[in-house]
Amino acid sequence: MERKTPLISQEDLRRQEEISDYIKGWWQSQGVTPVAYVETYGCQQNEADSEQIRGILERCGYGLTDQAEGADLIVINTCAIREHAAQRVFGNVGALVHTKRRHPGQKIFVCGCMMGKPEISERMKKSYPHVDGIFSPHHLWQLPEHLYRVLIRHRKAYAVEDSDGAIAEGLPVVRTNTIKAWVSIMYGCNNFCSYCIVPYVRGRERSRLPEDILAECRDLIAKGYKEITLLGQNVNSYGKDLGLGVDFADLLGQIAELDGDFILRFMTSHPRDASHKLFDTMASHDKIAKQFHLPFQSGNDRILKAMNRHYDRAQYLSLIEYGRKLMPEIVFTSDVIVGFPGETEEEFEDTVSLIEQVRYEALFTFIYSPRPGTPAAELPDPTPKEEKNRRFDRLLAVQNAISEEKHKALVGKTLRVLVDGKDGDKLTARTDGGRLVRLDGEDDLIGQFITVTITDATTWSLVGALTPLGKRMDAVTLRPAAREDLRTLWEMQIEAFSGLLEKYRDYETNPGAEPFEKVLARFEQPWTVYYFIMAGDRPVGVIRIVDKKDGSRKRIAPIFIMPEHRNNGFAQAAIRAAEQIHGPRHWSLDTILQEPGNLHLYEKMGYRRTGQIERINDRMDIVFYEKD
Ligand code: 5AD
Ligand code: SF4
């Protein structure tokens, strides 16, 4: 199949860069450093667009400010998804007339999804003469040109014509966060859910090339980003337009295989296109967060049909079931609409029962909002507003109770989190499943994966405490085990494998099920040494070194880290300590499978694959590494 989505040509992009440089020079010649204020409404996709807007503006010589007052340029990036958001935009843009009066040179641009609807952009143009520029998402990449028109030519800029929405690669970006990054992998949507405006304002689905996405992710990881979220209106149909034979699961897997310590998320998924393959890929990569945002919108089949969703309740539930069977720890979240035109009380109850059946971690609940131009806006809608509000409140109450129960069940558990910022005097962090954790701790933990014990929970968030050794340890010592220590060591080994037995089920040398006699017999071997891995004076794990002098034996060194200390970098630190005692050596991959995210540990530490692979069974290979 021919690739349908054209890229915007290098030549066109270069032209925009030249205009940017011109504008920058123009400002310099006035002896002014202009500042721009960018305000974003709506979803993460819009936030990602705003990061490009900021990037382009910076190239044009603008500094960034977080206040509209006094800014030389204001850009309002709008959302069209519900009427309420649209009304707010009209109100806020209207109010800017005063700001502009106080700062006459100020220029105002309005862009984003609302401007993708001709009736709305037309209304904006007519009602608000103080707005200098209007452009739809398709025309974002030409922002320098729009600015030029307004600043230098003293004209209005108006770019809202529909287009196929070619993709502009390599636009500059100013990211607002240094730990988490959002990467758009595709744009637009082909689904035409009957209530939704998105396909009309963002155009047809078009995917970025896998190599461009991989390059961006590689760059982000190299810059130290710890969380990457892949964005698209419907990520599951990624690649369909490319004809390269690469689907979303393939792309996700490829990114998850990149070296580095990071966690990978994605949104949003349409249940129609969410494949078993995608769940399989999630399950087989530790770096992919076990979190799935899977909007169901309604629990009733008639409504789902009227929404043009192309799946029914049973199909949706079977997806959830498949995901949970594969990954018992998976966290599901969802979107739901109440009060779709004609929704009856019984049909609404089906939605409630679906929520009770699935028990989501969190839910984004919306009251149906008619969007002119969509098929659903034409449907009769006899249900009074008060009744819709009542249904909405009921849904919230049901979900809040579930969220709280789910959160409370985590109290006492030890979880790996990524510390991502600060809120007041507390650090904020997210679990693998995306749950918010608040905790006390030093600022230098921001940007690190740490382990916390959950001490309390509310509907919205968890309270965590740093585990005593929660902070990543760079140095551990190895203490050789004596004969009288062996029973303790054996018990630690078994405990270290708790929860992992399932993964190792068919592994005949499953160390978590090893009899004590085996440990004892190994201890007698002259080439075997058992060590306790010590962090300070606390044992956090066990390591076995096999070092037969004549080289007749593979030098495998299993490492067992206690469950509460996993993911703190102890495996890595233990390898370093062992290297100091025994020199570089062969390691086998199975030894660190316990630590999610460590699959690339050896390569990170300068080891290379020997090419030797030992097949244990059809689910497990031991891969051997060495370092000279
Ligand atoms: N009215 C209410 N909610 C809507 N959504 C999309 N369109 C509408 C609408 N017209 C909700 C859907 C979607 C989420 C992003 O917003 O639940 O998944
Ligand atoms: Fe995002 Fe849709 Fe709103 Fe556009 S209309 S900002 S795509 S939610």
Residue with the two structure tokens 């004209």: 155
Query: Quick one: 553 exposed, middle or buried, by C-beta within 10 A (0-12, 13-18, 19+)?
Result: middle
Looking at the CA of 80, which ligand is closest? 2
The number of residues in the chain equals 628
Token couple for 88 = 């707010």
577 phi and psi, to 5 degrees? -65, -40
| Residue 606: band (very low, low, confident or very high) from pLDDT cuts 50, 70, 90 | low
Query: Using CA of residue 512, residue 516, residue 517, residue 523, what is the dihedral sign?
Result: positive
Query: Higher confidence at residue 140 or residue 536?
Result: 140
Interval 3-34: pLDDT, tens: 556 799 999 999 999 999 999 999 999 998 99
Cβ–Cβ under 8 Å, residues 231 and 454: no
| Residue 472: band (very low, low, confident or very high) from pLDDT cuts 50, 70, 90 | very low
Amino acid at 175: R
DSSP-H helix ranges across 203-274: 210-222, 248-256
Q: Which residues line ligand 1 (CB under 6 A)?
A: 81-82, 195-196, 295, 297, 335, 337, 366, 368-369, 371
Q: For 565-585, what is the mean pLDDT?
A: 71
Token couple for 336 = 């739901």
Query: Closest ligand 2 atom to the C-alpha of 85?
Result: 3
Rounded to an integer, what is the distance from CA 423 to the centroid of its chain? 20
Q: Does residue 548 carry a pLDDT above 90?
A: no
Interval 33-84: pLDDT, tens: 999 999 999 999 999 999 999 999 999 999 999 999 999 999 999 999 999 8
Interval 263-285: pLDDT, tens: 999 999 999 999 999 999 999 88
Q: Is 79 in the pocket of ligand 2 (CB under 6 A)?
A: yes
Q: Which residues, listed in sequence order, are joined to residue 229 by a DSSP beta bridge?
A: 182, 265
List the one residue out of 378, 443, 381, 445 whose CA is nearest residue 416. 445
Q: Going by C-beta distance under 8 Å and a sequence separation of 6 or more, which residues neighbour residue 146? A: 109, 133, 135, 139, 157, 159
Query: Closest ligand 2 atom to the C-alpha of 43?
Result: 1
Q: Is 117 in the pocket of ligand 2 (CB under 6 A)?
A: no
pLDDT at position 617: 42
Question: N- to C-terminal Cα distance for the chain?
Answer: 48
Distance CA 439, CA 423 (A): 10
| Residue 506: band (very low, low, confident or very high) from pLDDT cuts 50, 70, 90 | very low
339 phi and psi, to 5 degrees? 75, 30
Instruction: Identify the residue whose C-alpha is closest to ligand 1 atom 2.
Output: 368
Q: Which stretch of 301-315, 324-338, 541-555 has the lowest confidence by average pLDDT?
A: 541-555
Q: Does residue 505 carry a pLDDT above 50?
A: no
Q: Going by C-beta distance under 8 Å and a sequence separation of 6 or more, which residues neighbour residue 162? A: 138, 203
| Residue 555: band (very low, low, confident or very high) from pLDDT cuts 50, 70, 90 | low
Amino acid at 231: L
Interval 345-373: pLDDT, tens: 999 999 999 999 999 999 999 999 999 99
pLDDT at position 582: 76
| Residue 448: band (very low, low, confident or very high) from pLDDT cuts 50, 70, 90 | confident
Q: Going by C-beta distance under 8 Å and a sequence separation of 6 or more, which residues neighbour residue 349? A: none
Q: How many CB atoms lie within 10 A of CB 333?
A: 19
Determine the distance separating the centroid of ligand 1 and the alpha carbon of 371, expressed in angstroms. 10
